[in-house]
Amino acid sequence: MKKRSCLLIILIALSATCRTYSQELPRKLEEAAAHHKEYRFSQAIGIYRSILEQRPDSTLTTEADSLLNMEIQKSLVTSENGNNMLLFASAPAPVTKKVFPAEKFFLRYPGFEEGSWMLPPAEFVKEAQGNPFNVMNMPQESSEIVFSAQDESGAWNIMYTRKLNDTLWSAPQILNENITTAGNEILPHLSPDGKTLYFSSDGHSGMGGYDLYMSKWNEETGDWDTAQNLGFPYSSTGNDYLCYNTPDSFFTILASDRETQQGELTLYITRYEALPLKNEVSQEDAPALATLAGARQQEESPAGSRKETESASEDEGYAEYSQAVKEVRELQDRLKRSVAQLDKRREEYAITTDSLQRVKQEQHILSLEADLLALTQSTTSAVAKLQKIEMDFLSKGIIIAQMMETEEEEAAGSAPDMPPMEFEFAENSMGQTPAFNFEVVVPAVDLSFKIAEESVVADLSELPGGLVYHIQLMTTNRPAAAKSFKGLTPVFERKLSSGKYTYSAGVFSTYAEALKNLNTVRKRGFPTALITAYSNGKSISTRNARIMEKQDNSIYRVTIAGYDTLPAEALSAIRENTTKDIAKAAIDGVMKFVIGPFTNKAQADALAGAISARGVAAEVEKVAN
C-alpha cells in the first residue's frame, strides 16, 4: 500500500510537471524568438537548447511532437547562423532610408530602366498583380531574363530563359541546385554583364526569413556557382529583398521589413562598397547597424515635399575622412594592378621551357608575392582606419554622403568617383509584358531497358535508325496486355504478315549489350527469349547483324550523355540543323540521347559541333564498326 501511494505521488508530480512544462513551452519559444529578432543570438541559442534537452526523443513521440522538435532544431540552427554571421559583418556607410508600401516597392529603385518591371510571361502568373514576388525585370533589348515562378508544390523557383532569335526564346528552366532549395527563391535580377545573379531566399542558410544572396557565373562549368549570403547587415533577422547596386557604383539599395509593419518595407540606401571589410560586430551593436542608424529618414509631407534631418556640418571631421578614402582607393588600385602583374608573370612561367629564364622568373614571382603581401596588409590597415572613421560618424548620426566638399575639391570641381550629395528615389511605372514565343521542348522517348512496376509498350516509330538489337519475348495470336510482360520495358509490338503478333523488349546498340540482359529477361519468366536484330527497321539475322558490327557501313549517330532531360539549348541546335529523330537509350551501360541515323559523317560532325557550341557536349559515334 505504501509503495502504491509513493508511485501515485510520483505520477501526480510528473503529471503536474508535464502540464507546467507544456504551459511554459509557448512562452519560452516566444522569448527565444524575441531574442533572435533583436540579435541576442546567444540567449536564443541557450533557450532552444534547454527546450530540446527537456523534450522527449523525437523517435519516441507522436508525429506532432517530432515535427515540433524539428522546428525547434531549425530555429536553433538559424540562431547559430546569425551568431556566426556577426563574426564577419560589414559596416556600409548609410545614406538614407524611406518607408514605402510593399506592393510596388521595386518601382522606387533608381537605376532600373523605366518600364522594365513587369509581370512574368502569362503562363507563369498564378497570383494577383499586387504580389511583389510575381514580377520580373526585363530591360529593352534583353537577351536573357530571370524571374520567379511557383511550382506545383507552391514553392518559388528562379527560372531562366534566353533569346534564341528574333522571335523565339528558350524554354524556361529552373536554375541548378546551387540556387534552388526546398524553400523559396524570389525577386532575382542579373548584373548588367549577366555574370552575377542576385536574389532573396528563405531556403538557404541565413539569419531567418528571407536573406539576400548572390551567385557568380562559372565559365568553366557553364553554370551558376554556390549561392553566397551577402552577410550582415544586408541580411537581417527580418525579411530582406532585392539588393541592387546602382549602375554608377555609388549606392547599394535593399528593401526590408526589419523596422516596418505588415504591408510596408523600408528602402535602405548605403554607399556602394566594392571590397567591404568584414569585422566582428557585438550583439549589443547589431541592432543599430541593422537599422543603419545615422541614415536620414525621408518622409513625405502632405504636400509631397521632402523633409530630411540635418546633415553634419561641412567641416566635421571630413578632411580626415576624405584623406582616408583617397588612401584606400589608391591602395586598392595598386593592389589590383599587382595581382594582375603577378598573374601575368605566373602565366609566362608556366609556358617557359628555358631553365635559366625560369629561375629568373621564379625570383621575380617571389619578389612580387612579397610586395603583394605587404600591400595587402597596408590596404587592410587603411580600410580598417576608414571603417573606424565611418563608425564614429555613424555613432554621432553624421551622414557621410551629405558632407560638403573640401576646399581642395571645390577648387578642382567635384571629386571623381565620389557619390552625389543627394539620393533620389525613382518613381517608375510597370511595363507591359511582351508576348513570348517559347520553344517547345519535346520530351525524348526513354528507351532504356529496365524493370518497372508496369511495362510500357512503345511505338516502333520511336526506335532509332541503324542497327539495333531486341530481346524477343513471345509470339501470340492476338494482342497481349501490358501486364503480360512482367514489368519489362520498353516493349515493342510488331504485327506479322501471318496475322500474329511478336513482342520484343529493350533497345541495344550492340550484341554484347543485348546478351548481357538476356538472362535477366529469361529469369523474369521468358525462358525461350532470344536476341533479334533490325537494321533501319527491317529484320535481319543476328549473324548478319554481328558482321555489320565489325564492318564500316558508314552509319553514324550523335550522342549526348550526362542529362536526365535533353537541355533546351541542345534541342534548339538539333531542330535548327536536322530533322533526324531523337531517342534515349542505354549504350554500353550509359544512358544517352541519340540523334540519327546519319549516312554522312560530315553531317553528324556538323550537328555535334552545333550542339557543343551551345554548351552541351555531343559526340559522333558509328552505329556499327
Report the pLDDT value the prediction gives residue 57, as an integer from 0 to 100.
60
- Grid cell in block for residue 95: 545614406
One-letter identity of residue 33: A
Residue 509 and residue 467 in contact, taking contact as beta carbons nearer than 8 Å: yes
Residue 296 and residue 328 in contact, taking contact as beta carbons nearer than 8 Å: no
Residue with cell 525613382: 426
CA-to-CA distance for 278 and 231, rounded, in angstroms?
9
Highest mean pLDDT among 14-23, 113-122, 356-365: 113-122
Report the pLDDT value the prediction gives residue 397, as an integer from 0 to 100.
55
- Grid cell in block for residue 416: 571623381
Residue with cell 502569362: 122
3-state class (DSSP) for residue 378: helix
Cβ neighbours of residue 4 closer than 8 Å, sequence gap 6 or more: none
3-state class (DSSP) for residue 456: coil
pLDDT exceeds 80 at position 436 = yes
Residues 173-223: tens digit of each pLDDT: 889 888 988 889 999 999 988 899 999 999 898 998 999 999 999 887 788
Residues 474-498: tens digit of each pLDDT: 999 999 999 999 999 999 999 999 9
Domains in the chain, CATH or no CATH each: 22-86 (no CATH), 89-305 (no CATH), 318-397 (1.20.58), 445-622 (3.30.70.1070)
Q: How many CA atoms lie within 13 A of 453 on its CB side?
A: 0
Residues 589-625: tens digit of each pLDDT: 788 888 888 777 767 888 888 898 888 899 988 775 4
Question: For a pLDDT cut of 90, what percent of the chain falls above it?
Answer: 37
DSSP code per residue over 149-217: EE-TTS-EEEEEEEB-SSS-BPPPEE--TTT--SS-EEEEEE-TTS-EEEEEESSSSSSSSSEEEEEEE
